[in-house]
Chains A and B, each alone.
Chain A
Amino acid sequence: MIRFEGVHKWFGALHVLNDINLHVKPGEVVVVCGPSGSGKSTLIRTINRLEPIQEGKLVVDGMDLLDKRTDINKLRAEIGFVFQQFNLYPHLTVLKNITLAPIKIRKVPPKEAEAQAMALLERVGLPEKRDAHPAQLSGGQQQRVAIARGLAMKPKIMLFDEPTSALDPEMIGEVLQVMKDLAESGMTMMVVTHEMGFAREVSDRIVFMDHGVILETAEPEEFFKNPKHDRAKQFLKQILSPMH
């Protein structure tokens, strides 16, 4: 579904992605973790070319991202992207946030798009917010709407870039629950997150990065019980018991 082969990226002199090799299979849930500045957000943003790569090969849903003939808008329509800061469209109601792309890009008739949007709002537990504007919602509610917006395009892949990092602690759970349900429905997901509970419980594989390099790829049990790399051991120790 997503295949990185020897991918490199630089921001000026900074080598932000260094020889990335990773294959995400359909239906797989992969969590990417690592210290800040490790390149994990950049990694996930290359998948829909919010960040272009400079070297190597990146194939997503059969489309080569470096191939000039690839229709990037078509590919992006197949990939839902959830941002740390939600990035809902503030001038539109919740319902219109969700139906805009299906109506304009997929040419879904408005009535049908609305019915689908309402079904998604039920799924994320916010049907009563259909006519609210984003500014009237809490962070957790906004993020759930953002997930519904992504799902409205019936994507093949969902990408999450630190979806709970901007939330108050008591709102993190509601968002993680929606993501967990989504994972259990068989969606292919790649999630950048510091939520180790989610990683352990929901993911199929954990990718640990530092300084633009994938240092370790392991199943969650293995990763938490028995991290191979020293940097991963140190990271886990700090993130699981920050006081020590």
Chain B
Amino acid sequence: MNYQFDWAVVTSGKYFEWLVSGVVVTVKISVVSIALSFLLGLVIAVMRMSRFRPVYWFAHGYLEFFRNTPLLVQIFFWYFGSYKVLPDAVNQWLNAQGFEFAAAVIALTIYTSAFIAEDIRSGVRSIPKEQMEAARSAGFSYVRSMFYIILPQAVRLTIPPLINQFLNLTKNSSLAMTIGVAELMYQARQVESYTFKGFEAFSAATVVYVGLSFAITGLMTLYDRKVLQPIKVR
């Protein structure tokens, strides 16, 4: 083995800047998709528990469909397939956001929301049914009871699986390189192509992904410990 390590390639100069710009895009995709997939997951979870059959079946179909198809297929579908059937106005708006970026966010959001919805639903099931009775007795509708009383408690119980989903989402965002989003993985590949320093380039990407994952876990755990846990849920 006479490979010459050259870490300077990834710690300074032009290639370092490429990687940094990749990190910025990865963080952007992840943050936007985490926020959207959480909100969408809440909505789908509530729909999935509805006693109104059409709503229930819609949510059920949504979950089964998006959980059981590969993320890469979904990314390609949104990027290569969707614009052909979407209205022009929607396409124009998506293009304004950068269509690659938008397609990646949509795919990650929808895919992850299906898993989040199931986690939240199992959290809801562990809230005693008397909480719903108390809320309904006060005059809240089913949906408002869910959002004011049940879900805030269920989400507290769902933090550990939610951390998992957010980590998966962040790592899965690397698939966005396949449709030309210039995120971290894309830039690491670029650096490798230009320098043949594959070991350094992908080591750098690895370190950043690990760092991001630790940051997510750390922030969520801190939030859980400082903000949520002092408030005992039974």
Contact residues, A139-179 vs B (CB, 8 A): 149, 153
**A105 to chain B: which residues have CB within 8 Å?**
138-140
Interface SS majority for chain B: helix
Highest count of chain B CB atoms <10 Å: which of A50, A81, A83, A89: A89
- Known contacts A83-B130, A89-B131, A89-B149; A101/B233 CB under 8 A: no
Highest count of chain A CB atoms <10 Å: which of B131, B136, B139, B234: B139
Bound complex: CA of A48 vs CA of B138, how far in Å? 10
Instruction: Give the number of residue pairs across the A-B interface with Cβ within 8 Å.
Output: 62
Do A104 and B140 touch (CB < 8 A)? yes
Bound complex: CA of A76 vs CA of B134, how far in Å? 11
Flag whether A186 is at the interface (Cβ < 8 A): no
Bound complex: CA of A61 vs CA of B110, how far in Å? 47
**B232 to chain A: which residues have CB within 8 Å?**
90, 133, 135
Choose from B137, B139, B140, B156 the contact partner of A50 (Cβ within 8 Å): B137
Contact residues, B28-49 vs A (CB, 8 A): none
Residue of B nearest to A76 (CB): B139
Do B153 and A87 touch (CB < 8 A)? no
- Known contacts A90-B231, A90-B232, A91-B231; A104/B137 CB under 8 A: no
Q: List 27 A-B contacts (CB under 8 A).
A: A48-B137, A50-B136, A50-B137, A76-B136, A76-B138, A76-B139, A77-B139, A79-B137, A81-B134, A81-B137, A83-B130, A83-B134, A87-B131, A87-B133, A87-B134, A89-B131, A89-B135, A90-B153, A90-B232, A90-B233, A91-B152, A91-B156, A105-B139, A133-B231, A135-B232, A149-B138, A153-B138
Q: Using a CB–CB distance below 8 Å, which chain A residues touch chain B?
A: 48, 50, 73-74, 76-77, 79, 81, 83, 85, 87-91, 100-101, 104-105, 133, 135, 149, 153
Q: Using a CB–CB distance below 8 Å, which chain B residues touch chain A?
A: 130-131, 133-141, 144, 148-149, 152-153, 156, 230-234
